[in-house]
Amino acid sequence: MRSGAFKIAVIYVVAGVLWITLSDELLLAMQKHFDLGVVLFISSIKGIGYVLLTGILLYQLIRLHTRRLAESELRYRSYFDENPNPMWIIDLRTMAFSTVNEAAINYYAYSRDEFLQMNLFDIYPKEDRHRIYTAIRELKPGMNDNGIWRHRKKDGRLIDVHLTSHLHLTGKSGNVMVIVKDLRDDQISLT
């Protein structure tokens, strides 16, 4: 994002310097062929021309930059949404699911809306709550190997999973992205 803003600023400065230099040279050349009143009139409106042209240029550059950012965001979002492992993001303040990927929806059998109305504790057995609080307090910024946990699927079945998380703090709040690996998958792939 910074490099895009820097490029736009550089283009604006270069366009401004070229405009001033070339338009002044053009006005000097015009003095030989036109009445002084015409040259002064053109000189007075060249600033308006500069504002209009650079406004259009800035609009196009910002539009192009915004489109590229949106495409980049969609590409990176797809890495989350289309990941074959169940993943979600938890709001640390509320412990609510902020978003879940398609693999989590398929694996746990909750719909996206059901997930987004739940919090982290809804997929764990009640007896694991103290362990969850402890694990959350021990999270460090960046990647965390959270070990093996029991989760409850929508049908009530308990499964063993290995969790990896990434803590991202913003001010006094933050989010945790969690990647779930079914332990049965490991056993299947090893045989």
* 143 pLDDT above the threshold of 80: yes
Question: What integer best gives the mean pLDDT of the chain?
Answer: 87
For 144-189, write each residue's pLDDT tens digit: 999 999 999 999 999 999 999 999 988 778 899 999 998 875 443 3
Question: Is the CB of residue 105 less than 8 Å from the CB of residue 112?
Answer: yes
Alpha carbons within 13 angstroms on the beta-carbon side of residue 99 total: 9
> If we measure between CA atoms, which residue out of 104, 101, 178 comes closest to residue 145?
178
Domain ranges of the chain: 2-80, 82-190
Q: Note the pLDDT of residue 38.
A: 79
Which CATH superfamily groups domain 82-190? PAS domain (3.30.450.20)
Q: Note the pLDDT of residue 185.
A: 58
Answering whether pTM is above 0.85, one says no
- Once rounded to an integer, what is the mean pLDDT over residues 29-35? 79
Q: Which two tokens stand for residue 96?
A: 């609510």
Beta bridge partners of 88: 100, 178
CB atoms within 10 A of CB 189: 7
**Distances from the Cα of 18 to the Cαs of 7, 25, 61, 122, in angstroms?**
16, 10, 18, 63
Question: Is the CB of residue 100 less than 8 Å from the CB of residue 176?
Answer: no
For 70-102, write each residue's pLDDT tens digit: 999 999 889 999 999 999 999 999 999 999 999
DSSP structural state of residue 141: B
